Chain A
Amino acid sequence: MAEWHDVGSLAELERDGRVVARVGGREVGVVAEPDGALHGIRNRCPHHGGPLCLGSVLERVAGDPGVYELAGRRVLRCPWHGWEFDLDTGACLDEPTLRAAVYPARVEDGRVLLRA
């Protein structure tokens, strides 16, 4: 049964943009978007094993040839090779066969909780 786990303090999340903790033998993290939205995600990139939660939350870029536009979605970019992942589903946007596990996350009484 999935349970809520304390994975760090809200202060740390606000300072670093993410908290990381070990839950049930797996390293997981909670990543915050600039607007405060939280995403629980496994801290292991399905591509090469890099610490995914230490990556950057970025605006994805799109556009027709020669034109750069914001795609209107934020992504988590792995700090190792730069592959981009959907924050909600964990799907790798550039390699559809790969997906990182995602988890519900919330804040309660100054603590960051993740359900796994």
Chain B
Amino acid sequence: MIDCDIHPQIGDAEELLAYVDPAQRDWFRAQGPSFGLPGYSWAHPSSWFRQDVEQNGRPPAADVETVRRELLDPSGVEIGVLNGDDAVLVSLIPSPYRAAELARAHNEWLRERWLDAEPRLRASILCPAQDPQAAAAEIRRAAADERFVQVLLCGGADRPYGEPRYLPIFEAAVEHGLPVAIHTGGEGMGLAAPPGGAGPVTFYIEWHTLGSACSTMAHLVSLLCHGVFERFPTLQVLLMEGGLAWLPGILWRLDTNWRALRSEVPWLDRKPSEVAREHVRFSTQPLEHTDGADETLFAMLAAAGAPGNLCFASDYPHWDFDDPDFMVKRLPEAWRAQVLHDNAADLYAARLALPARG
């Protein structure tokens, strides 16, 4: 099993600050536990985390031992990909200079504190997306370590990722054979556009329903319409945690519009859904509950490219995580090998030296 989404927490601020350049360390220290990252205007009413793994004021999943004990060992996770949690919000800090430094420090912290300690772990490269040239430089620097298996972008953004300003990020990723993951979070925070598309929402339940799904749709449609995959034919994108049930709907809608409005995006010389099938993967968590209509859900997803485009993700240790054992049972039997392992193994093939299967 490959778990594409594990969120390591920063248990000790000084441990991370030690990786920050001394000339900037005092600034980050002065920001308190947020490190200057934008706070959530819509917070979970009780806890961001699974209640059973919270540990006396210290965040869960704050060290390798805990992740090993609570996730890797019991679930038989062969490879687990660490995605910066709040740290992914570096791209929403007003100062691109602070963002670049915190991203670099976080990447180094992951490397030494996590990757060096556990061979099953891999990590995503954080980068300051608000400054695409600096982001590309950080991607190229961190990519030298093959345990970084993808680039991580934040779902919250001031502009959707298909826009030409972001091309240096995709160029650097492709240069190093790295997929680009866009993980929801930060919608409406800091520099990011409001969640949902109709002005700010009121409740966390609205934010969690709309913010993540809408930003994921927006980035997907933007990447396809701007022809990013035509520019970079080897680029692979992994969209994370934005939900799945809407996928066939948005692709059908985009295909329909493309037939009528193709002259606006004439570089799209085939249906956008076909491009999506070849270039875009989706993480499974949080797979919508269907009130007994799982067969319908899986039939819809099959119409949008599943199971070839789905990669298992637990989202441990968050409150809405998908338990690996539960997911194994829920997935159609014929999908399991691909979704739980093979698709992610293909996605990260250039960087994973996996033992031969079978």
Contacts and interface: CB of A to CB of B under 8 A. Distances in A.
Contacts of B267: 62-67
B266 interface: yes
A65 B232 CA distance: 10
Contacts of A71: 266
14 contacts: A60-B263, A61-B266, A62-B266, A64-B231, A65-B228, A65-B230, A66-B164, A68-B266, A82-B261, A83-B259, A84-B262, A92-B259, A94-B258, A95-B259
B263 A61 contact: yes
Given A64-B230, A65-B226, A65-B228, A81 B266 contact: no
Nearest to B267: A65
Contacts of A81: 259-260
Q: Is the interface of A mostly helix, strand, loop or mixed?
A: loop
Interface in B182-236: 226-228, 230-231
Contacts of B262: 84, 94
Contacts of A63: 266-267
Given A68-B266, A81-B259, 15 more contacts: A60-B266, A62-B267, A62-B269, A63-B267, A64-B230, A64-B231, A65-B231, A66-B267, A67-B267, A69-B266, A81-B260, A84-B262, A92-B259, A94-B262, A95-B259
Interface residues of B, number: 15
B304 to A, nearest CB: 18
Interface in A92-112: 92, 94-95
A62 B267 CA distance: 6
A61 B266 CA distance: 6
Nearest 8 Cβ contacts at the A-B interface: A65-B227, A82-B260, A94-B259, A61-B266, A65-B267, A61-B263, A81-B260, A62-B266
B261 to A, nearest CB: 7
